[in-house]
Structure 1
Amino acid sequence: MMKHILLPIDGSECALRAVAAANEMALAFGAKVTLLYVIPDPRKEGVIQGQEAMILSESKAAPLARQHLEKAQKSLDPGIQTAISLQKGVVSRTIEKEAASNDYDFIVMGTEGMGSALKRLLLGSVTRHVLEHVTIPVLVIR
């Protein structure tokens, strides 16, 4: 029985399609949905930036992440019990740890995120990592 869905999002169109799929699943099974937004930590993701650029991007990341979480939460049916989690770290490993540390039955996530081709490549590898390392079923939305 599916009681708790983990829904990692990043604000991309693909993630919004994953929200819609999770909405349908949660309604069908009466499941709770936890929306997860992971702010990438450039120091841990292997991205080299100047310190000033890194501080600027980090100061803008949290408010933007909260906006994406709130938008996704509002797009879910009001009858669905939801929770929000905003974390910082290596995106793929943070999703893996979150999936292992809580009582999730299922993950719904998009195949690619927002941004440049390089960012899409990195986020595509996030999906691949999750598929290879979690022990619960994953629905990947394109």
Structure 2
Amino acid sequence: MNYEPTYTVSLWFRKILVPIDGSENSLRALELATDFSLRYGSKVSVLYVCSTCEDIEHIRKKVDERVGKKIEYEFKVIKIQKESSVSNEILRTVNEDTYDAILLGSRGTSVNSDINIGSVALSVTANASVTVIIVR
């Protein structure tokens, strides 16, 4: 039986947020978002949440190396306030800008490689009101 392709999934991923911390897992999440953008026309926003924000250019360079000129994307930087956290800022961004999905790495740049899922990924997954895809 021949079926016509459907693009229902494109409605689920119209606007994607990809939090980046420079870790390999977060960059793989960006690659998946890039693929969604190429296949389904998803709009991709890359979010870098930082406390000192000294390495913005380094992170942006890593993002450009992975994405290249394949897609257009928005690059956002949020500086953490004392009373907030990385996961709170990600969730606030999702709620303010009406994203359809979050694609994030399973764990960030922590030293302990025995952890399968980091605290930020766990918190975002538990509290997000949209689809969350965790990339390993």
Question: Which TM bucket (shorter chain)?
Answer: 0.7 to 0.9
Kindly indicate whether the alpha-carbon contact (under 8 Å) linking 2:15 and 2:100 is maintained by their aligned counterparts in 1.
Answer: yes
The secondary structure found in structure 2 opposite 1:6 is strand
Structure 2 counterparts to residues 116-135 of structure 1, below 5 A: 116-117=111-112, 124-135=118-129
Deviations 1:78-125 (A, max 9, x none): 25221111112210100010011102111110000113229x96x811
Kindly indicate whether the alpha-carbon contact (under 8 Å) linking 1:10 and 1:65 is maintained by their aligned counterparts in 2.
Answer: no
Query: Which of 43, 56, 65 is the equivalent residue of 2:56?
Result: 65
Distance across 1 between alignment mates of 2:61 and 2:100: 23
Taking only aligned residues, the RMSD between alpha carbons, in angstroms, comes to: 2.1
Distance across 1 between alignment mates of 2:48 and 2:87: 11
TM-score for both structures, normalised by structure 1: 0.75
Instruction: Point out which structure has higher relative CO (alpha carbons under 8 A, 6+ apart).
Output: 1
Establish whether residue 17 from structure 1 lines up as the match of residue 28 from structure 2: yes
Note the C-alpha offset of 1:26: 1.3
Aligned residues: 120
2:78 aligns with: 87
Kindly indicate whether the alpha-carbon contact (under 8 Å) linking 1:30 and 1:80 is maintained by their aligned counterparts in 2.
Answer: no
The secondary structure found in structure 2 opposite 1:117 is coil
Structure-2 change in CA distance of 1:115 and 1:74 (3 Å): same
Q: Which runs of 5+ in 1 are unaligned?
A: 41-57
Structure 2 counterparts to residues 106-117 of structure 1, below 5 A: 106-117=101-112
Give the share of equivalent positions with the same residue, in percent. Answer: 30
